[in-house]
Amino acid sequence: MTERLKEQLQRLGDEAPELRLPSDAWAQGRRARHRDHLLTGLLLVVVVALAGTLLRVTPASRMAAEMVAPRTEPADGVPDRLRPGSDLAVAPNLAVGVTSVVYVDQERRVVAVAADRGSYRLLPLPRGLTSPHGGAVALDRSGTMLAYTWMRENDSGGPEVLTGFDVADLTTGRLQRYRLNGRAGIDVTDLVWSPQGRWLAWRGLQASRLSSDGVGVQGRFGREAIGRLDLTTGGIVQERLPAVAARGITVDEDGVVWVFGSRATASRTLPGWARRPASPPAPENLQESAPASPNGRVLLLGEGGAAASPAMVVAGLPGPEYADLNPQFSAGSRASARTVGWIDDSHALVQVTGYGDREGDYTPVESLSLAIVDIRATSGDTRQVTHIDDPESVRHLEVATDLMTLDRPTVSRPGPWSFAGTLLVAGLSALVLALAVALVVRRRRLPRP
Amino acid sequence: MVLTREVATTTAERSFDEFVAARGRALGRTAYLLTGDHHLAEDLLQTALMQTARHWERIHGSPEAYARRILYHQNISWWRRKRWQESPLLDHDSPAPAADPDLRVTLEEALRRLTVRQRTILVLRYFEDLTEAQTAAELGISLGAVKSMTRQALGRLRTLAPELAELIGSSDSA
């Protein structure tokens, strides 16, 4: 019976109104084809870009990349902009590779910036006990050796608190631990590398008693002590300082530890006094310890200040020459300068801190930057090379100056990838994947040619 | 290289134009039966030919078979998108308006009141003269689904247009 239905349908078809045949079907099809190719290419590019980004930011991949043997290729460098972040991944060990910058953040965590990629990693340093004077961290000029102080409870009898410092090889992760004995211990406040990294000098306060509440250390402190480690032998010497108001120390490549204060500059070749040159009184407000120039003959000391551009003093080693510099920094109404390292014998890298107006006991830090100062010019020609975002979050800054040259002091680097940033990239990846799947599903609905 | 591609494009375009000239009208008839509407049929034909042109170089078999498959699938796809516009089933199940002396018009009217899937199944089975297995393959559905949808479509035609009973036959003969 359905034969009649077939006949009727055939008749319906035969008598159907004439349809207008499209004249531009070919052109439309070609345009759609070009769009297909373009879309496929774009998707490929986006997928490759996202995959690359993910590989770059995935902690595991960064870890793998940074576990590779150390290298100092031309690509290594100090970032032109430092972006401290709070949400950083912790490195699995101390073998993080050549490091361009190390800084201590507000929470006293130590952050390493990789020289090759500019990635930011928290260093897994033993937390230990909080030092009454804050402790110290020092990166050598090659960016491969890191020294940091520690304090920890003593579980095996004897003093309640043990003090000392570690020296870590950041290329291998190998750690050398040095315990400091000085009555109840020494709270090290300054660590300084010699120009070529053979010597590490420290300054600290001798404690007559140290006790711990499980988090921090309280103590009674007496005279200052200085010491010096010979990295080639592991030998340590230390001695008490006479009652001088020492402001800082430095160490030259002969292992001579220099102590400078507000009233005089003295030198000591440990152990024992070697010479005590007659030197004019050093200016007031000298800031912290500072590394000596590569030839170990010059020291640049910054003055903490009430002026917009802090004065600086070039001191000859072994003195007694002094020269005043008046570098011009753009750092607000008040600024201080601290020598971080040296590019060569004539150019120092200086950390410039600009302060805001005092608010009670608190003085806000308004700006933080790194500048190169030419010590041959009395005007102290300066050039800002690195800007630090969020200056309040950086307590202390160390730079591998071997990675800097006058021609190429810094390199451009991306900011740290926070957890939120990684999530964003992952989300974008998921979105692109969903779009790709939707596109494929839509196309599969149409029959295959 | 560019010249070679241009020559290839020209050749392909010419063969596509020949295909449209030769088979366009037949495709148009199927499009009309599938949609039951002149304008919709033109749109459907346009889409099918555009998709055929889009994949012209990749079509290894008959371009007409490919274009027809596009017609079937695209029509159902449109129906899916516009499903919310369809009237409730109950409205369609009432008998067609007073018996029309012209059987063709009555059949056309009744076909229009079927769902797109049902109409497509009937067009494939009784206009394109495909077997149940071929229909299942064309639409990418199971043989059982084709059988049950054919049964439903014919049953609905009987409900919508009782005067077509002779044309359609009893449910047993379907």
Mean pLDDT per 10-residue section of chain A, whose length is 449 residues: 80 85 87 86 80 62 47 72 85 94 90 91 82 86 94 81 91 92 83 93 85 78 86 87 72 83 54 46 64 84 67 72 75 81 92 83 85 81 87 92 93 68 75 78 60
pLDDT: which is higher, A333 or B158 = B158
Cβ contact A16–B32 (<8 Å): yes
**pTM of the predicted model as reported, rounded to 2 decimal places:** 0.58
DSSP bridge pairs for A362: A359
pLDDT category of residue B90 using cuts at 50, 70 and 90: very low
Query: What's residue A277's pLDDT?
Result: 45
Enumerate chain A positions whose Cβ falls within 8 A of a Cβ in B: 1-2, 4-6, 8-22, 25-26, 28-30, 32-33, 36, 445-447, 449
Residue in B29, B70, B154 nearest the CB of A13: B29
Task: Tell which B residues from 81 to 100 touch A, by Cβ distance under 8 Å.
Answer: none
Query: What's residue A200's pLDDT?
Result: 94
Cβ contact B107–A6 (<8 Å): no
Nearest chain B Cα distance for residue A49, angstroms: 29
CB B123 within 8 A of CB B134: no
Query: What's residue A301's pLDDT?
Result: 76
| B39 close contact with A: CB closer than 8 A | no
Query: What's residue A221's pLDDT?
Result: 80
Q: Point out the least confidently predicted range of A307-316, B120-129, B141-150, B165-174.
A: B165-174
ipTM over cut 0.85: no
| B40 close contact with A: CB closer than 8 A | no
